[in-house]
Amino acid sequence: MSMYYQNRVVGYFSSIAIANNFDVEIFVGKSQGIEVKSKGSFLSKIITEVNSFGKLYIHMEEGFNCPNRVHIIIHTHILNSLYIRDSVHASVLNIKGGHFSFEGTDSSQSNLIGSVDNFKVVAFGSAKLNAVELEAKTASVSCNHSSQVRLFAQDSIAGAAYGNCNVHYKGNPAIQVFNSGQSFISAI
């Protein structure tokens, strides 16, 4: 099966929301651009649009079921938040700034690298987040079901853990996490 490539131009964005079954690499601090690669001629079925609030949405056209995983490379000047769901696998390099928000649901997986003051995490379903290399001063965590969260916090971690989720942390933060169910919170 042939590989298909497409470069896309979209409006300015500082937040990204991705659904379906994509493998995504995001590079922060670069000139803005999107490259889409797939093993199949269905690039026109992949929607990339920016709303009026500066959020980039990437998803498949409604009703289309992609037979293969699609690889997307995103370059952006700044990234304040990332929302992923379904079976998206995302890797983000060079996150910087005062505040960064992440939300992962379903069976999504992500790796985050960089340095921020405040890091907000929401993880549901069986989402897996590895943010040990995203150095944060403070972290706020809300996790549910069987999600797995690994993060770095220098000063504090606050939030709630429900169901059977696991929160593993690096650093020496003060911990104020409400634990309900069989959730597990521990140092790495």
Indicate the number of domains in the chain: 2
Name the stretches of the chain with pLDDT < 70.
Answer: none
What pLDDT sits at residue 41? 84
Q: Which of 79, 105, 134 represents a domain boundary (last residue)? A: 79
* Residues with Cβ within 8 Å of residue 110, at least 6 apart in sequence: 82, 84, 88, 89, 90, 91, 92, 102, 104, 128, 129, 130, 131
Q: Which of 21, 49, 79 represents a domain boundary (last residue)? A: 79
Helix (H, G, I), strand (E, B) or coil at 43: helix
Q: Are residues 130 and 42 in the same domain?
A: no
What pLDDT sits at residue 169? 98
What pLDDT sits at residue 67? 81
What pLDDT sits at residue 117? 99
Q: Which of 79, 103, 132 represents a domain boundary (last residue)? A: 79
What pLDDT sits at residue 30? 85
Strand duo 166-170 + 148-161: pairing: parallel
Residue 84 tokens, joined? 């992923």
Residue among 63, 78, 61 nearest 14 (CA)? 78
Boundaries of domain holding 154: 87-188
Prediction pTM value:
0.95
Task: Output the 3-class SS for 107-127.
Answer: CCEEEEEEEEEEEEEEECCCC
Q: Are residues 95 and 35 in the same domain?
A: no
Q: Are residues 18 and 98 in the same domain?
A: no
DSSP E strands in 124-165: the ranges are: 128-143, 148-161
